[in-house]
Amino acid sequence: MTRADHLPDDAPAVRSRRGWVSLYAVAFALMGVAGIILVVASLGSLNSIGLLWVSAGFSAAAVVAAVASVAVPRR
């Protein structure tokens, strides 16, 4: 018997689960790394904007990972 055989006819439709907690954790870690790099850049009196670009890159990657963690359905 399949799972559908056990459900009554008036049972609400079950929506597929969305979101990956592990991918969201990766996004959180990326944002933490971006913050650390930003602090390191500020402690160095911002002699070079290279670290700011690296921090911005990590922030952008964190945003992409956070959106993907919600948009990609779980298996």
Query: What three-state secondary structure class fits 11?
Result: coil
Domain coordinates in residue numbering, the chain: 21-75
What digits encode the pLDDT tens for the residues 20-54? 788 899 999 999 999 998 898 888 777 778 888 99
pLDDT at 15: 61
C-alpha span between 65 and 71 (Å, rounded)? 10
Q: Evaluate if pTM is beyond 0.75.
A: no
**Per-residue tokens: 5:** 């055989």
Nearest to 68 by CA among 29, 28, 27, 35: 27
Residues pairing with 73 in the sheet: 18
